[in-house]
Structure 1
Amino acid sequence: MADLAERYRAYLTCLNERRFDDLPDFAHDPVVHNARTLSMADFQALLKRDATEIPDLTYVIERLVVQDDQVACRIRFDCTPAEDFRGLPTAGRALSFVEHVFYRYEDGRIAEIWSLVDTDAIREQLTP
């Protein structure tokens, strides 16, 4: 289990360092994300889009649980989107929110991802 936790932390380091070309080391091609099958190119594009929309995006682990081939993580983001995010008018506003994400691994690489971003927390911060 510790090995999978280390592997997951290395994956987030890859994302934080914007090393998107290294993603095949961490995820299968294809990978299933929220029930959508994505090629590696599509998965990389999804993560690159998030980094473009939120240039200071940094993945910070608040809670990490590993069991067998599964990883569950609560990730905190304190950031300032440069563009609207998930259809919300966030451009230029400092935000703090979390994502709850679950992964299933195969052969040491991510095979499936289920992700839920706390958009209610974002909406509350946008309300005057």
Structure 2
Amino acid sequence: MTVSRNDSISAQHKAIVVRLVQEVLNSGRLDVIDELYEAALAPRARQWIAPFRESFPDVHMDVVELIAEADTVAGRFRCSGTHLGTWLDHPPTGRRFQRIDEVYFFRFRDGRISSAWGLEDTHERLRQLGLR
């Protein structure tokens, strides 16, 4: 069986999403954002990732499933973390949320993330933290 060019590109795009999860979200290496995102999008990515990691410094995200087609990767993730910093104007509770479902769509251009859109179960996260 031969691997087509599209399969190879899809695998590369999935690998970038895995790096985003492992190196940036789980390990806090915000410097890697510049390698993974287009230059115009990197500052916006940092604007939402950095405060989230400050609020939940032990955040851990698991990749449940990645599906790639053409220039898009759809990902299903599960996220856990301990509320140790202000989040959504809520002071730290010290409580932990676990296995919060998230789904994101990443588009790529020239091997970098050019847009990202997602849904997170914020209601369940708030409930587990005792904030709802």
Normalized against structure 1, the TM-score is what? Answer: 0.80
Q: Percent identity?
A: 23
Instruction: Measure, in 2, the Cα distance between the counterparts of 1:46 and 1:28.
Output: 16
- Residues 91 and 127 of structure 1, relative CA distance in 2, 3 Å threshold: closer
Instruction: Measure, in 1, the Cα distance between the counterparts of 2:117 and 2:47.
Output: 17
After superposition, residues 1-128 of structure 1 pair within 5 angstroms as 1-15=10-24, 16-31=26-41, 40-87=42-89, 91-96=93-98, 97-125=100-128, 126=130
The unaligned stretches of length 5 or more in structure 2 are 1-9
Structure 1 residues 3-12 or 81-90, which shifts more? 81-90
Instruction: Measure, in 1, the Cα distance between the counterparts of 2:89 and 2:105.
Output: 23
Name the structure where strand makes up a greater proportion of residues. Answer: 1
Normalized against structure 2, the TM-score is what? Answer: 0.78
The answer as to whether partners of 2:55 and 2:92 remain within 8 angstroms in 1 is no
Partner of 1:50, secondary structure, is: helix
Whichever residue aligns with residue 11 of structure 2, its letter is: A
Partner of 1:76, secondary structure, is: strand
Structure 1 residues 102-111 or 73-82, which shifts more? 73-82
Instruction: Measure, in 2, the Cα distance between the counterparts of 1:89 and 1:63.
Output: 33
- Residues 60 and 79 of structure 1, relative CA distance in 2, 3 Å threshold: same
Instruction: Measure, in 1, the Cα distance between the counterparts of 2:11 and 2:34.
Output: 21
RMSD: 2.1
